[in-house]
Every structure is written in structure tokens, then in C-alpha cells.
Structure 1
Amino acid sequence: MMSDTEKMKDSISVKVASADKKRVEAIFDELGLSLSTAINIFIKKSIAEGGLPFEVKDPFYSEANQAELNRRFKKMDSNQ
């Protein structure tokens, strides 16, 4: 028998690029998951983690990129 919380469900509407939706549906299908189930897993994991269940990074700030920028700045400084 379903609990009261299981009966109470809301819908979420999300705009996403059609190509992205097709790609992610194929990935989840390979895992035996529907898009809805995968999103529900993401939501439950976010609740459990108290935030996003993964680290969000800007590639600009990666160690390799920062090292390259520093190298270029030093090169510019030495030429002036």
C-alpha cells in the first residue's frame, strides 16, 4: 500500500535541447532507466547530499589551464 507521501506527486517541466534529451534518454535507456526515474534519482541524491551530488567546475579554473595562463603571463612579463 502507498504511503501519503508516495501518493503526493508534482510535475516538473524543464526546457532542454532536443538533441540533449535524445542523447541522455539513450544513456539512461542503456542503464534500464527512464528519464523520469533518472531525474528522481538525481533529486533524491541531492536531498541526501544537501546540494548537488557532484562537484560543479568551470574548466577555466582547472589546474592545467591556470598553469598555462601563468606561463603565458610570465612570458609576457619577461618580454616587456
Structure 2
Amino acid sequence: MQPASGSESNSVQDKASTPDRENLMFKKIDDKTVILWIINNGHFTGDGRRLSYCSDQVQRAYAGQRRTGQQTRN
């Protein structure tokens, strides 16, 4: 994969290109899980949020349960 070039590319490390001074940092935990931190003006805004990948099939099943009011807790 080639990096973007030209006037349309911005580095997230270039503070001048991010006027609100907010950046995202991800750390991979395993094949399906990352931790997301939001960094605002050089400071972490919280403890981080654990995010997990769910396949399309799992997401559709969850959405179907929510529509019918049969949501289950894992």
C-alpha cells in the first residue's frame, strides 16, 4: 500500500493539520480487539475504550434482536 501524496494528504502527527488538536490512538490487543484512546491537546481524555470486531452476520443478528425486543446479555 502506497502512502497518499499531494495536497490532500495530512499526517495525524502534524498538529498544524489538525485544528482541533484531537487525535486517536489504537492499540491492537488480539485479532478482533483494539483499545481506542482519544487525545485532546496532547492529553488523554479517559481510560480508553475497548472495541471488538463483530462479523456482519453477528451484527445483523444483534440488530434483529433489538428490533424484536429480544436482546440478550452476554
Q: Answer whether TM exceeds 0.5 for this pair.
A: no
Q: TM-score, normalised by structure 1?
A: 0.23
Query: 1 or 2, which has the higher helix percentage?
Result: 1
Q: Which has the bigger relative contact order, CA under 8 A and spacing at least 6?
A: 2
TM-score by length of 2: 0.24
- Which protein is bigger by CA-based radius of gyration? 1
